[in-house]
């Protein structure tokens, strides 16, 4: 028995913010953003929380599969921008769906979150669980300082997800590689929670709430560690890089994706990309890309996929799977 991706779906908030729109808020230009990142526009929430975006995906998934919410055994939400520390975004969605049988929890591995969550789902399916939902949902706009051009131009909001089932079929996760690099954590931070109580008053720095990033360090990390993670994953399979039909990398920056394709000496056309329209949606980026590529019939059943995420932590994670 093995993990089969039964359905995919995505949802993004309707408001689109173009690069030109951003020039009204900060000293930047469409040309700078496009040439450094390939990003043209992103979707920004005007009030919807991560659970609202995830719930849209969850309902769509159940509708497409014609599954009842009560038939779900688990719901995992990968997010670095939860509605609250408690309840978890996954529990909120579980409650809204009335998925009474489903255990639900959030997982935070930043932009690697969907990969980490899919590995967890695969483990749960080895146990007594048959059916689950894995969602990446982010409202990064609430972690962005809209005056800071070094980060504000990069991020977007959205959610994507999949239904998975333990099923005897050719579909399966073939190999995986997860790594974390906590010593480099300061290269990308957001959402600091200060300790404040009747007994201790921290002098709070409001900037720590927002994204702070050593962009060049993250760029170097991604272009160095992602190819290594992919190579470790391939080594566990009988595949060579040339056997991979489609590469779905975290959509942080088009230049990073192109650099990784060059490093692996694989055709850039096999590296699917939609960062132009969504920006970096962290844990949501890979499931949004997966859903779009399945809907456009690029990805077909039986094809070999390599999924790879990287980001805050710092973290990296790759999965080789047969769709
Ligand atoms: N518009 C105009 N100018 C800008 C902007 C902007 N939005 N942002 C920075 N600049 C300026 C800088 O201030 C700098 O000016 P200076 O030379 O006068 O100091 C100049 O542009 C060049 O800046 P660099 O940082 O050298 O630009 P670089 O080519 O490195 O590109 C970028 C920056 C796009 C951030 C790149 O480093 C990058 O992509 N890094 C990886 C980021 C990433 O992927 N992060 C997400 C990780 S996923 C996660 O977990 C959330």
Gyration radius from the chain CA atoms: 19
Q: How far apart are CA 105 and CA 88, in angstroms?
A: 6
**Helix (H), strand (E) at residue 314:** none
Q: How far apart are CA 139 and CA 156, in angstroms?
A: 7
CATH number at residue 265: 3.40.47.10
Q: Are residues 33 and 150 in the same domain?
A: yes
The confidence score (pLDDT) of residue 1 equals 65
The confidence score (pLDDT) of residue 204 equals 67
Q: Are residues 208 and 148 in the same domain?
A: no
Q: Are residues 120 and 14 in the same domain?
A: yes
pLDDT in tens, 164-205: 999 988 899 999 999 999 999 999 999 998 888 899 887 767
Name the closest-CA residue to atom 29, ligand 1. Answer: 36
Q: For a substitution probing ligand 1, which of 29, 142, 213, 218 has the most ligand atoms within 8 Å of its CB?
A: 218
Q: Are residues 269 and 231 in the same domain?
A: yes
Return left, alpha or beta for 165; rule: phi > 0 is left, psi -120 to 50 is alpha, else beta. Answer: beta
Number of structural domains, the chain? Answer: 2
Q: Are residues 11 and 160 in the same domain?
A: yes
Q: Are residues 138 and 251 in the same domain?
A: no
**Is-cis flag, bond preceding 118, omega within 30?**
no
Q: Is 188 in the pocket of ligand 1 (CB under 6 A)?
A: yes
For the annotated catalytic residues, the residue numbers are 111, 250, 280
> Whole domain around residue 56: which residue ranges?
2-169
**DSSP line for 4-50:** EEEEEEEE--S-EEEHHHHTTTSS--HHHHHHHH---EEE--SS--H
Q: What is the DSSP letter of 236?
A: T
Q: Are residues 137 and 161 in the same domain?
A: yes
Q: Beta partners for 18?
A: 41
The confidence score (pLDDT) of residue 54 equals 98
Q: Are residues 143 and 277 in the same domain?
A: no
Q: Are residues 14 and 162 in the same domain?
A: yes
Q: Are residues 157 and 54 in the same domain?
A: yes
Tell me how far the alpha carbon of residue 159 lies from the centroid of ligand 1, in angstroms: 25
Phi/psi for 280 (5° steps) reads -90, 110
**DSSP line for 248-313:** EE--S-HHHHHHHHHHHT--GGGB---HHHH-B-GGGHHHHHHHHHHHTT-S-TT-EEEEEEEETT
Domain boundary (150, 169, 188) is at: 169
Domain boundary (153, 169, 185) is at: 169
Q: Are residues 148 and 262 in the same domain?
A: no
**Residues with pLDDT less than 70, the chain:** 1, 204, 206
**Count of Cβ atoms closer than 10 Å to residue 293 Cβ:** 20
Domain boundary (169, 203, 228) is at: 169
Q: Are residues 282 and 257 in the same domain?
A: yes
């Amino acid at each position: 028995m093995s993990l089969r991706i039964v359905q995919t779906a995505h949802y993004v908030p309707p408001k689109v913010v173009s690069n030109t729109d951003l020039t009204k808020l900060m000293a930047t230009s469409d040309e700078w953003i496009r040439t450094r990142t390939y990003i043209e526009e992103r979707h920004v929430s005007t009030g919807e929380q991560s659970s609202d975006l995830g719930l849209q995906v969850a309902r769509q998934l159940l509708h497409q599969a014609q599954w009842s919410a009560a038939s779900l055994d688990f719901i995992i939400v990968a997010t670095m921008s939860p509605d609250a520390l408690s309840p978890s975004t996954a529990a909120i969605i579980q409650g809204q769906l009335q998925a009474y049988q489903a255990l639900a929890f959030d997982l935070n591995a930043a932009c690697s979150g969907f990969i980490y969550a899919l590995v967890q789902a695969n483990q749960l399916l080895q146990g007594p669980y048959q059916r689950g939902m894995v969602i990446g949902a982010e409202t990064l706009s609430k972690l962005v300082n809209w005056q800071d051009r070094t980060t504000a131009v990069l991020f977007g909001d959205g959610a994507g997800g999949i239904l998975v089932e333990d099923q005897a079929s050719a579909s399966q996760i073939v190999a995986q590689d997860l790594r974390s690099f906590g010593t480099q954590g300061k290269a990308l931070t957001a959402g600091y929670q200060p300790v404040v109580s009747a007994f201790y008053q921290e002098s709070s720095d409001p900037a720590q709430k927002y994204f702070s990033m050593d962009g060049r360090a993250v760029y170097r990390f991604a272009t160095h560690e992602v190819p290594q993670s992919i190579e470790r994953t391939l080594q566990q399979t009988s595949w060579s890089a040339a056997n991979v039909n489609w590469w779905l990398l975290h959509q942080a920056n088009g230049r990073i994706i192109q650099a990784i394709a060059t490093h692996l000496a694989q055709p850039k056309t096999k590296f699917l990309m939609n960062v132009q329209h969504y920006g970096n949606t962290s844990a949501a980026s890979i499931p949004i890309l997966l859903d779009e590529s399945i809907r456009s019939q690029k990805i077909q059943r039986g094809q070999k996929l390599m999924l790879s995420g990287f980001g805050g932590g710092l973290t990296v994670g790759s999965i080789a799977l047969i769709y």
